[in-house]
Amino acid sequence: MTHFSFDIVGFDLDGTLLDTSGDLTAAVNHALALADRPALSVEQVKPMIGGGARHMLKQGLTATGGYDEAMLDRLHAALLAYYEAHICVLTRPYPGVIEALDALAARGVTIGIVTNKIERFARTVLDELGLTDRFACILGGDTMAEGKPSPMPIHEMVRQCAVVADAKRAGAQSAAPRAAFVGDSIFDIQAGQAAGLPTIACSFGFLMQPVDELGAEAVIDGFDALIPALDDLARRTAA
């Protein structure tokens, strides 16, 4: 096992580890069709992803003519039912994700997920892709009282992962575990920073604005850059 500067690395899911845009767009368009609204393209839906399904649907309805709360409630339920039945048709890990997770594991890093996706959906899609067992902690947008950008789920991810990290150290005395968070949206970066963690933004994700405007401590253009970015981040934050 190679020494590494971070004991814990947390990840967002949609737009960070997984490209879920095709399946989420299909679910949005299913709901829009029920309201006789025009379909949206994947590129139109991508910036709507990150704040949870209801937030995504609100934006889709706003873009196609507006909504009232009764309509939103009805279509939200329809969107969730459709998505649950078609959750992993097009969804795939981004290039380099598996290799990056392997590299972190080889360095003894404990990894967790904090997503605004409903927890059971996050677990289902990870199960479908055979990835669930890689994560010590999987927290969804409904797991706690608040989702991102609240720091609450980030703190909980660190707490749960720290238990596993401590077990890996087999009782060896050391400083409190160091953690970082990786995401693609303003929700991710704000939550990580509010929790006191250095953050890395993914330029290839479902960006709501230019990646340089997110305010992350580092930016990666692909997962081949993750380990070097974490090494550099550890040096800079320790200075």
> Which residues are catalytic, by number?
12
Of 206, 194, 234, residue with least CA distance to 218:
234
On whether the CB atoms of residues 128 and 148 are closer than 8 A, the answer is no
**Both structure tokens of 202:** 């993914």
- Cα separation, 216 vs 104, in Å, equals 21
Peptide bond into 149 cis (omega under 30): yes
On whether the CB atoms of residues 227 and 100 are closer than 8 A, the answer is yes
- Cα separation, 16 vs 46, in Å, equals 12
200 Cα distance to chain centroid: 12
Of 121, 172, 159, residue with least CA distance to 142:
121
- Cα separation, 235 vs 217, in Å, equals 12
- Cα separation, 134 vs 83, in Å, equals 24
